[in-house]
Amino acid sequence: MGNNEKNNNSGNDISNRLIFLAKEFNVFEDSELDSFIDAATDDVEVEFIKSKLTDDVLGIKKKFLANHEKGRFKISVYVSDSVFADMVAADPTDNKEFLQWMLTVFRNMIKDENISNEKARRFVEEDLKLANKYLELFNSNKRKKKFKDLCEGSYGIPKTDPTNINQYTSLSQLFNAVDPFIEREPSTLERAMIRFQDSGQAKIAFRDRKWTVFIPLTTEANCVMHNFANWCTASPGNSMFNSYTSNNKLPNGDKSNIYVIVNNDLFEGKTNECYQIHFESRQIKSRQNSSNVNIYEPVLSTSEGISEYFKEELTRLVMMSKDKSKNIYIDYLVSFGFTEALFDMIDERQPVIKFDGGNNRSGDTKFQIPKLPDISRFKNIDELLLLDVNLVTLHPSIGSLINLELLSITGNKIKELPKEIGNLKKLEFINLIGNPITIIPDEIKYLDKTNGGSLYRISINETDCGKENYLKLKKLLPTTIIVGN
């Protein structure tokens, strides 16, 4: 058989494989979209996964009732021909042996009812741009004993057979496996960051003994991390930097920032620890590209300096916002543990302070205020409502709120009321429902009308405070109505 005939046969084999996979994964063209819209009925739900960049349809989830009596649904997933083509291009092998794996990962992300379609969209629009590099490293090294040995001792890598691409459920897992084979020069990273700052393409916004916060201002500066982290924004030639910073504006209309946090030991090759934050798209990523990681314990709790930096930065962004009551920056202030900053942003002249941890926006971080800070400056408020915010202690400064008429702290973890509560002579209503109160100060008697107070009603469950404390309240507050649920 001649070489031309062999090449033709090989080409035919690949073509047949592509045709088979296109059929197997329900690849569709844009001209077919109307048929999916027409297919939607009471029993059939059709959901389009669209690109945020072009508004093109990347995939389709078709969910229909398979068993009316048992209420069971069946889900079919359809893949755009443009996504299929991108995956073909991302596969570095001649016979496209990794194509089916990429299609399977994408389909599973759409099909899984427990994860959002945003994950599937990012896999196509961001992660695929890194797939070629990682798949090439995987293909080149998977047969080496070193590869198997490193995988065996690494976290987050399939243990059954790390040489089988089908064992990996995401590109982040694959990155963990090929990470040791990526060539790096840690000693040049620090110099590159300084060089970009000196040329006006970046800012080193913070640095202490342990951490450096690097803010790239150009695509080139952001790509300084391309060999150290699995971030689409850091991939040369395929960077999503402009998409993130230009399409997600700051409250004042300026481009948003990407914050790169680097453990200074990385510059000496002693660690690989680094993180990327983009508040506006709600992403905090580790170097493996794991989204929405918690950086409080590994970063903020280890350095007072970097903690204060992000507290000030988030406070600045909140104050820049028109709606200061609810926005993403407040959500991050809370999740980063900067709850005292919430009170710093409140106008001391306003009559009501209210935080409701049980009635926040869907998908947002719920307000958590375990400790009430010093609130003595709010002498004009007449209502204080802290509902379901995980509050554990009330600061004694609450006794300075001499104009307070309503205090509601329901659904928290308060065990002790401060004795200073007896100073609130204008207090008319208290709601303590849902708190395991164990200590009630004798000074609470001064709230009763017999002692010059104004208290009309207090809500508390006997099951929460115990019979002894409940009877104590009745004795200390003889003219006050005491009720529970």
The residue with greater pLDDT, 177 or 474, is 474
Per-residue pLDDT of 32-87, as tens digits, reads 998 888 888 877 888 999 987 788 999 999 988 766 555 577 889 999 999 999 99
> What's the CATH code, domain 346-483?
3.80.10.10
C-beta atoms surrounding 11 within 10 Å: 10
The residue with greater pLDDT, 165 or 183, is 165
The pTM score is 0.63
Q: Give domain limits for the chain.
A: 10-181, 188-305, 346-483
Average pLDDT over residues 400-417: 94
- Chain mean position to CA 344: 24
pLDDT score of 69: 58
pLDDT score of 367: 64
Per-residue pLDDT of 223-233, as tens digits, reads 899 888 888 77
pLDDT over 80 at 417, yes or no: yes
pLDDT score of 342: 76
Per-residue pLDDT of 344-395, as tens digits, reads 778 888 899 988 877 544 344 456 787 788 899 998 999 999 998 888 889 9
> Any idea which of 9-13, 317-321, 373-377, 425-429 has the lowest mean pLDDT?
9-13
Tell me the sheet residues that pair with 73: 65
3-state secondary structure of 422: helix
- State which amino acid sits at residue 334: V
pLDDT over 90 at 274, yes or no: yes
C-beta atoms surrounding 53 within 10 Å: 11
Per-residue pLDDT of 315-352, as tens digits, reads 899 888 776 555 788 888 877 878 777 787 788 888 99
Average pLDDT over residues 112-116: 74
Q: 367-384: buried (b, 16+ CB within 10 Å) or exposed (e) per residue?
A: bebeebeebeebeebebb
* Structural contact between residues 77 and 111, judged by C-beta atoms closer than 8 angstroms: yes
- Residue 455's closest CA among 383, 406, 400, 395? 406
Sheet strands side by side (includes 72-80): 27-28, 72-80, 57-67, 44-50
Residue identified by tokens 């960077």 is 239
pLDDT score of 291: 66
CA angle 116, 121, 127 (to 5 degrees): 120
- Residue 482's closest CA among 463, 456, 464, 450? 456
Chain mean pLDDT for the chain: 86
* Structural contact between residues 408 and 431, judged by C-beta atoms closer than 8 angstroms: yes
User: How much of the chain exceeds pLDDT 90, in percent?
Assistant: 48
**Residue 201 exposed, middle or buried by CB count within 10 Å (0-12, 13-18, 19+):** middle
